[in-house]
Amino acid sequence: MSGTLFEKIWNAHLVSEIGPGTGLILVDRTLLHERTGGVALKSLLAAGRKVYAPRQAFAVMDHIVDTLPGRGDKTMMPTGTEFIRATREGARAAGIRLFDLNDPNQGIVHVMSPELGIVLPGTTLVCPDSHTCTQGALGALAWGIGSTEAEHALATSTLRVKRPRTMRVTIDGTLAPGVTAKDLALYLLGKFGVAGGKGHIVEYAGSAVRALDVEGRMTLCNMATEFAAFSAIIAPDDAVFAYLEGRPFAPTGAMWARAVESWSALRSDDDARFDTELAADARDVAPMITWGTSPQQVVALDGEVPAFAAGHSAREAYDRALSYMALEPGQRLAGLPIDAAFIGSCTNSRLSDLRRAAAILRGRTVKPGVRAICVPGSTEVRRQAESEGIDKVFLSAGFEWRESGCSMCFFAGGESFGPRQRVVSSTNRNFESRQGPQTRSHLASPETVAASAIAGAIADPRKLGR
């Protein structure tokens, strides 16, 4: 029987149909972090319930932990310690594996989980975090849930899921040199809008997707939640198998061979039908930057703030975004002075991201007055980067070099950028006050963040002379 990749995974996990269009689905992995997971564990235990399959659940500290050297349970976020301790106690009481603050495998949940082989092709994986879609890059059905759903997944190893519609986004052609998965993700949001994937499981396909390395695929899938999608997925291939082989939680030996054979069948059949098909040409993608307060408010780096056009956004939202960002229609983005630069987050904090940014920073210095911060996505990424001397490149350029965590991707009441400060950021959300009260965030690739830090203004990494 022919079907889409999603349908194959769905059918393999379907316990029962519990209503028209709703299935009871086996959950293979439940991941928790201290920001939302602590509440779920506390509430589960208070209800007198146990975790059904503790070996299939994992918890990590990432969201509100300090990323300054020498960190401990105290964080800059008021009451943050309470979240850390509640998660630690909850994980212990529930008998689930916790990657605590000083664990060598600690990291942002969507960075450390692939790194450890916790996510595997064909598995279902949930986490009370909207960027769980990142992990679809490995061929898993991975999606974000709420805390109550997390309790359900922990207590029953299943979830009641409204079956999403299927969408294929085919991107053929070749990305130009210096154009990355992040630029592609932003380009798609600009082209199709932040509701473009509404209620769909999006399968990214096409030669440009196939050509991305596994970390680039994670970046692309990461922003599917900004696309209003249920999740995103990419059919696993040899690149994924090579990425996973030998990871601590991946199968080994004969079991590995058996798994790879099974995973090799995980793709949409040629005659599979999708509810919606979208297409884009990789050759149309340039380095991108957001100008507004929604990820769809994005233009090519050498472009300008567009005039209002009916479509994705209403007039009020357009005017509000311009006023918040202190910009005018027709204004060029390149050359706009910045106050800060941030490289980190589950979108762009992996080793390849840091390597590419370091290639731009090497031998250069951040413009005086610009605050520049790099937060590796996991303790392992940090360790590997340090073994390659990448930390030295960042530090001698004038960047801060941090411990791993979500850090200033968002403002939780502790550390933030200043009011009305303009920040170029490798993160995923440019919402109002996302990175601090009244902070103005421009989303871009790590290369663009690095180039902008050096120029002290939004700058195209391809135009830096040597």
Partner 1 sequence: MEPFTVLTAIAMPLLRDNIDTDIIIPSREMRSVSKKGLADGLFAGWRYRAIGGREPDPDFVLNDPAYAQARILLTGANFGCGSSREHAAWALGEYGFRAIVAPSFNPIFRANCVANGIVPVVLAADVVSAIAQSILPRPAAAPVTVDLVQQLVRTAQGALYSFQIDAEARQMLLEGLDAVELTLKQEDRIAAARKADAEVRPWVYL
Of residues 213 through 232, those in contact with partner 1 by CB under 8 A are: 225-226, 228-230
Show the site string, 232-271: x = touches partner 1 by CB under 8 A, - = not. -----------------xxx---xx-xx--x---------
Burial 156-177 (b: 16+ CB within 10 A, else e): bbbbebebbbbbbbbbeeebee
Among the listed residues 417, 385, 424, the one whose alpha carbon sits nearest the alpha carbon of residue 403: 385
User: Rounded distance, CA 142 to CA 144, Å?
Assistant: 7
Among 10, 31, 35, 139, binds partner 1 (CB under 8 A): 35
- By CB under 8 A, tell whether 330 contacts partner 1: no
Q: What span, in angstroms and rounded, lies between the C-alpha atoms of 451 and 364?
A: 10
Query: Given the structure tokens 């030295």, which residue do they identify?
Result: 392
Q: Does 192 contact partner 1 by CB under 8 A?
A: no
Q: Which CB sits closer to partner 1, 22 or 207? A: 22
DSSP 67: -
> Rule CB under 8 A: which of 269-288 touch partner 1?
none
The token duo for 121 is 């092709």
Instruction: Determine if 157 is a binding residue for partner 1 (CB under 8 A).
Output: yes
Instruction: Determine, following the binding rule CB under 8 A, whether residue 149 of this chain makes contact with partner 1.
Output: yes
Scan residues 85-124 and list those touching partner 1 (CB under 8 A).
Answer: 86, 120, 122-123
Measure Cα distances from 298 to 131, 227, 266 in Å. 20, 13, 34
Dist CA 10 CA 13 (whole Å): 5
Nearer to partner 1, 19 or 368 (CB): 19
Which residue, 65 or 451, is less far from partner 1 as judged by CB?
Answer: 65
Subset of 369-428 contacting partner 1 (CB under 8 A) = 410-413
The CA distance from 139 to 260, in Å, is: 12
Distances in Å between the Cα of 286 and the Cα atoms of 15, 176, 283, 355 are 45, 8, 8, 20
> Which part of the chain contacts partner 1 (CB under 8 A), choosing from 72-80, 302-310, 331-339, 353-361?
72-80
Structure tokens given for 336: 């706009």
Between CA 392 and CA 401 the distance in angstroms is 9
Does position 162 bind partner 1 by CB under 8 A? yes
Binding flag, residue 45, partner 1 (CB under 8 A): no
* # residues near partner 1 by CB under 8 A: 85
**DSSP 3-state assignment of 401?**
strand
- Quote the least distance from Cβ 314 to partner 1, whole Å: 6
Q: Which residues 432-461 are close enough to bind partner 1 by CB under 8 A?
A: 432-434, 437-438
Check residue 67 for interaction with partner 1 (CB under 8 A).
no
What's at 140, amino acid-wise? A
Q: Which is nearer to partner 1, 180 or 348 (CB)?
A: 348
Site string for partner 1, 298-317 (x = CB under 8 A): ---------------xx-xx
Nearest to 106, CA basis, from 445, 303, 378: 378
Binds partner 1 (CB under 8 A): choice among 39, 142, 397, 453: 39
8 Å CB contact between 381 and 348:
no
Task: Choose between 122 and 287: whose C-beta lies nearer to partner 1.
Answer: 122
Q: Is 189 in the site for partner 1 (CB under 8 A)?
A: no
Q: Which of 72, 95, 104, 146 binds partner 1 (CB under 8 A)?
A: 146
Binding flag, residue 15, partner 1 (CB under 8 A):
yes
Whether the CB-CB separation of 85 and 103 falls below 8 Å is answered with no
